[in-house]
Amino acid sequence: MAKPPLRGNKVARRLFAYFLVFLKSKAAGRACHARQPPAGHATHVSRPHDKPKRQQHPPQGKEKQPTSPPGEKPRREKSGMIQPPKPPKKTRSMSEIILHQYPQSPVAEKVRVGFGIKNLTWRSVEIPRLPPKPDLVPLTGGYRRTPVMQIGADIYCDSQCILRELERRYPTPSYYPASEHLSGGLPWAITRWTDDRFFAQTIKIVLAGAGDNLPADFAEDRGRLYFGADWQTELKAAQLELQHYAAQLRGQFAWLNDWLAGSRNFLLGDQPGVVDACAYHLVWFIRGRWDSGAKLLSEFPHLLEWEARVKAIGHGTNTDLSATEALDIANNSTTVTPECSDDNDPQQLTPGMEIGIAPDIDGGELAVTGIVHAVSCDSISVLRESPETGQVCVHFPRVGYRISVA
């Protein structure tokens, strides 16, 4: 037994006392491990629901120090040991529908009616009517039109692409409620009329009809988008031809009215479909945004009855979501779109190629660039990244968009 240190050395005395305590604890530990369980007592048997015991010793080799996400400091416990940060809590479902839109958008109204037909629940992120759109561009890569649909890290641009994806994910009730010979492709062919020439003429009469009441910044933005590079000249010409455009719209609304004159409640039968959503947004737009819109529509009784029926469908169920939350959802999600190629693609696009995508009209818009992920005759999907979202998959329709190979 070692002799105690000199009385005057307090530090040495304290260390000696600690040493004695250590020896006693070691002896007690050995005695504890030597004991066997009494007769009649079973030893513990692990069960599937038991929590696994923490490993007492790390595996051989150098153990990597836990790291923290950028911008987050590691937690330090009371013991002074550095602990890895807690993982972020995903408080939102990664599969919920998010629509980036603003209330006055006619194309957003088309999609909102699409939600109503399928009675969907969705979240609404209100975006600015004019660029810049700093919380939208990180998701789309530069696409600035309205609306944009987000589901996790999958971003759908253009209402055609949005509605087709909704039909794929939520097939009941269908957007093609009519008999077999009117289902599938034909409704989309009809929407090329409503979304192309019919919509273009409606936009022109609304912008030209506003005259000097159109705000300068809005006139410049929408003028370039819908009238081309020489938009000021074209807008003035449209103001002079306002009655011509009114006559063009009147004739096309008359077609719809005649088609609805029979016993059908909606354009393709007794139940609403994608064609109803695409035609309705033009009626909604011209009534709400042109001073003479209500008068123009008043001579079409069957159209007015149909308008009331579509309006009664509603927009499904929606609640607001902040742009920051939408970006966080994208950042904490991964695309569910599988990689896909198309051997018959005329442009020979294959996954891994770098491409640019833009509308096939001159609206002064920049192309969205990305890496091809999925190709079909209906759509093109590209992977791209931003600091705000991480990797996302951005989807476009093939019809109506031009693709350039980088």
The answer to whether position 263 is within a domain reads yes
Closest CA to 190 of 165, 168, 226, 163: 163
Contact 127, 365 (CB under 8 A): no
Q: Give the CATH number of the domain where residue 288 resides.
A: 1.20.1050.10
Residue 83 backbone phi and psi in degrees, to 5: -115, 150
Residue 60 counted as domain residue? no
**For residue 76, is pLDDT > 50?**
no
Say what angle helices 106-118 and 159-169 make with each other, to 10 degrees: 10
pLDDT at 406: 80
pLDDT at 72 over 80: no
Among the listed ranges 265-269, 367-371, 379-383, which one has the minimum average pLDDT value?
A: 265-269
In a domain, 278, yes or no: yes
Residue 393 has pLDDT above 80, yes or no: yes
Q: Tell me the C-alpha to C-alpha distance, in Å, between residue 118 and each of 202, 312, 324, 396.
A: 27, 13, 27, 22
DSSP assigned state of 211: G
Residue 26 pLDDT > 50, yes or no?
no
Whether residue 383 is contained in a domain is answered as: no
Q: Give first-to-last CA distance, the chain, whole Å.
A: 84
Summarize the chain as % helix, strand, coil (round to 5). Answer: 40, 15, 45
| 124 is a domain residue | yes
Of the pLDDT bands very low, low, confident and very high (cuts 50, 70, 90), residue 186 is confident
Q: Per residue in 201-242, pLDDT tens? A: 999 999 999 988 999 999 999 999 999 999 999 999 999 999
pLDDT at 39 over 60: no
Percent of the chain exceeding pLDDT 70 equals 76
207 within some domain: yes
DSSP state of 292: T
Write phi, then psi, for 114 (nearest 5 degrees): -60, -40
Q: Look at the chain and report how many structural domains it folds into.
A: 1
For the chain, give the mean pLDDT. 84
Decide: helix, strand or coil at residue 368: strand
Least confident window among 74-78, 134-138, 189-193, 344-348: 74-78
Q: Report how far residue 18's alpha carbon sits from residue 16's, in angstroms, rounded to the nearest whole number.
A: 5
Q: Domain range spanning residue 265?
A: 97-320
Per-residue pLDDT of 142-173, as tens digits, reads 999 999 999 999 999 999 999 999 999 999 99
Each residue's pLDDT tens digit, 96-133: 999 999 999 999 999 999 999 999 999 999 999 999 99
Query: How many residues appear in the chain?
Result: 406
Residue 20, helix vs strand vs coil = helix
- Cα 267 from Cα 272, distance rounded (Å): 7
Q: What pTM did the predictor assign?
A: 0.77
pLDDT at 20: 55
Which one is predicted more confidently, 251 or 182?
251
Asked whether residue 393 is domain-assigned, the answer is no
Q: Is residue 364 part of a domain?
A: no
Query: What confidence score (pLDDT) does residue 83 get?
Result: 44
Distant-in-sequence, close-in-space partners of 320: CB < 8 Å, separation ≥ 6: 123, 124, 125, 126
3-class DSSP state of 71: coil
CA distance 127 to 100: 6
